[in-house]
Chains A and B, each alone.
Chain A
Amino acid sequence: MIRVTRKYRFSASHRLHAAGLSNAENAGLYGKCNNPYGHGHDYEIEVSARGPLDPRSGRAIDPAALDRLVEEQVLRPFDHKYLNTESAAFQKTVPTTENLAREIYTRLQASWNSVFPGPWPLLDKVRIAETPRNIFEVSETHG
């Protein structure tokens, strides 16, 4: 079994503001991340897949196929977007990077079979760095 990881980047803006809380509570909870005009990050994501080696190619995944999936499911919907207003997923959910990591994992998992129809490879995990110091990971065991 081999785990293969590919890195991608996108830039997006967001504002952390929970609908169920007052303005003062939001400001207290999220601090500068609650700035009403939003703010942005250069997100770096790592998508890991795992599987046995395909004897024909000597590879565990086709990186070009993973690129297509990530382009379609992650980069196109999120790159250079304001997540709060332009992404259906964050109309009601706060676009914290925890929730963004889950959304990306869910989107990749939902379309995985269209790109990888066989039993292998499987989606192993999604790791997203909001900044070089804030990093979030989602996998099957750590949903």
Chain B
Amino acid sequence: MLITKRVEFSASHVCRNPLLSDRENQELFGMAANPHGHGHNYVVDITLEGDPDPVTGMVLDLKKLKDVVNREVITSYDHRFLNYEVPPFDRVVPTPENIAIDIWQRLQPQLAKDGGRLHAVRVYETPDLFVDYLGETA
């Protein structure tokens, strides 16, 4: 069975690869390369895989899941300028692809401690653009 928890955060970012020139960044990322940054209301769907526990009837306690997500992701990301305030985005371009991978890496080991199996991380940068990451093996 798959269960999904949806969370939101708002943050600013600039899509800019420091190894490239301003012109190359502008060509590659367009408006998103504006050095002053810009923001989004991100929506994140976190999907876990598992069978309901025969006693509790739950795949994973959603309260626990919420606490882990808040602690590991939301408190770091929400109302921040990702490039300046949230590693690894000081050196990794904060595209939604990289944000999905980072969220996976923050959550997977923590959820595993409670027996949670992370299945997918979906990051909506806008309602019309989202990415899915299913881990390294997928």
Q: Is the CB of A57 within 8 A of B131?
A: no
B positions within 8 Å CB-CB of A: 15, 17, 19-20, 28-30, 92-98, 100-101, 127-134, 138
B133, A2: Cβ atoms closer than 8 Å: yes
21 A-B residue pairs with CB within 8 Å: A2-B97, A2-B101, A2-B133, A3-B132, A3-B133, A4-B132, A5-B130, A5-B132, A6-B128, A7-B128, A53-B97, A56-B19, A57-B15, A57-B17, A57-B28, A57-B95, A58-B95, A59-B93, A62-B28, A63-B129, A64-B30
* Chain B residues with CB under 8 A of A60: 97, 131
On chain A, the residues within 8 Å of B20 by CB distance are 56
Number of contacts between A and B (CB, 8 Å)? 56
Beyond A56-B28, A58-B95, A58-B98, whether A5 also contacts B133 by CB under 8 A is no
Asked if B97 and A7 make an inter-chain contact with CB atoms under 8 angstroms apart, the answer reads no
CB distance B98 to A53 under 8 Å?
Answer: yes
Contact yes or no, B134 A4, CB < 8 A = no
* A1 adjacent to chain B (CB < 8 Å): yes
- 3 nearest A-B residue pairs (beta carbon): A58-B93, A7-B128, A3-B132
Closest Cβ neighbor of A58 among chain B residues: B93
Chain B residue contacts of A6, Cβ below 8 A: 128-129
Q: With a CB–CB cut-off of 8 A, which chain B residues contact A59?
A: 93, 95, 97
Residues in A neighbouring B92, C-beta threshold 8 A: 58
Which residue from chain B places its CB closest to the CB of A3 in the assembled complex?
A: B132
Q: Which residues of chain A are near B94, meaning CB under 8 Å?
A: 58
Q: Give every chain A residue within 8 A of B138 (Cβ-Cβ).
A: 1
A51: nearest chain-B partner, CB-CB: B97
> Which residues of chain B come closer than 8 Å to A56, judged between CB atoms?
17, 19-20, 28
